[in-house]
Amino acid sequence: MKRIDPHTHSTVSDGTQTPAELMESAAQAGLDIIGLTDHDTTAGWDEAAHAVASTGVKLLRGMEVTCRHHDTSVHLLSYLHDPADDTLVAICARTMESRATRAQKMVENLSADYPITWEQVQQYAPKDGPIGRPHIADALVAVGAFTNRNECFIRALHPSGPYYVPHWSPDPVEATRVIRAAGGVPVIAHPRARGRNNRVLELEIIEAMIDAGLAGIECDHRDHSVEDSDAMKHLAQTYNLIVTGSSDYHGTGKPNRLGENLTDPHEFARIVEQGKLEVIRP
Ligand code: AMP
Ligand code: ZN
Ligand code: FE
Ligand code: FE
C-alpha cells in the first residue's frame, strides 16, 4: 500500500523545514508521495521538485488557499493547477499584501503588552511570502513571552482575543470556481476543524462549494474527531467526492507528524486524473 500524505507546509509559508528538507523528512517517514501545500503560494514547488530524484519521493504540487465566508475561515487545497493562472495569482497577491498589513497591525497591538517589534517579527517570516500568526508567535517565543506557537495561539493570537486583526480572503465558493478554471483540483481542508470563534463550517457553505465544482473533502485530519471524519466521508460519498487524509505537517511548528493520516491510492488517482499538471516522479 502506497503511503500518500497530500497536505504539508514548508518555510515558504509557516512550516519550519525548507522544501528540500521536507522532501528528506518525507523519505525518512517512508512516504511514497507528498503534497506540498503552502498557504497562498506555490513558491516552494521548484525546490521540492528538485529533491524528487535524490529522495525518491514523488511530489504532488498544491497550495492551501485561505478563504473566508463572513466570520468562518475556510482552507481550500488546490492541487495541480496552473501556477501562472492570472485570477489565482491575483487572489494570492491580494492575500499576501493584506497579510503583511494585518501582521503589522497585530504586532502594533501586541507591542503594548509584549516586547516585540515589526522588524523582529519579519525575521521569522518568509521573504516576500505569506506572513501569518505563526511568525508572530515565533517572535513572542523568542522574547520569552510563551514557550511555543500553540501557547501563543491560545493566549494571544486567537481571533476572539484583543490583538487579533483579520486579513482579506476570497470567498470559498468563488475560490473553488477559480481553482477549477486554473485546471486545479479543489479539496476542502479540515472542514470540521474549529476555526474562527470556534465555529465549524456550515454544511450550507460546503454544499455551495460542491455546486461550484469542489472535487474532494479532507476527512482524516488530526483536528477531526472520529465522528467528524465519518460525517465528512458520508458527505463525500453522497456527492461522489474524493476522500483525502493528511498530516498537515508544519515541521516543529505543530505536533502533526508526517504520515499520521494518509490518502488511499485510489482516491489519490482521482486527484491526478482531474488536475492540469502531472505528479513529479523520479
Ligand atoms: P493566519 O493564516 O495568520 O491566520 O494563521 C493561521 C495559521 O496558523 C494556520 O495555517 C495554522 O497552520 C497555524 N496555526 C493555527 N493554530 C495553531 C496552533 N495552535 N499552533 C501552531 N500553529 C497554529
Ligand atoms: Zn499553517
Ligand atoms: Fe489549514
Ligand atoms: Fe495546512
Q: Which residue has the cell 468563488?
A: 174
What pLDDT digit, counting tens, does each position of 213-249 carry? 999 999 999 999 999 999 999 999 999 999 999 999 9
| pLDDT confidence of residue 201 | 82
* CA 266 / ligand 1 centre spacing (Å): 30
User: Which ligand number lies closest to the CA of residue 63?
Assistant: 4
Residues with CB under 5 A from ligand 2 (ion): 14
SS3 90: helix
* 207, three cell numbers: 454544499
Q: Taking the complete model, does pTM exceed 0.75, yes or no?
A: yes
Residue 191 Cβ contacting ligand 1 at under 6 Å: no
Ligand 1 atom closest to Cα of 131? 3
What pLDDT digit, counting tens, does each position of 32-79 carry? 999 999 999 999 999 999 999 999 999 999 999 999 999 899 999 999
* 149, three cell numbers: 506557537
* Backbone dihedral region for residue 155 (phi beyond 0: left; psi -120 to 50: alpha; all else: beta): alpha
* Backbone angles phi and psi of 234, in degrees to 5: -65, -45
198 CB neighbour count, 10 Å cutoff? 9
* CA 240 / ligand 1 centre spacing (Å): 30
Residue 249 Cβ contacting ligand 1 at under 6 Å: no
* 245, three cell numbers: 487524509
- Listed range (100-109, 142-151, 189-198, 216-225) with the worst mean pLDDT: 189-198
What pLDDT digit, counting tens, does each position of 72-105 carry? 999 999 999 999 999 999 999 999 999 999 999 9
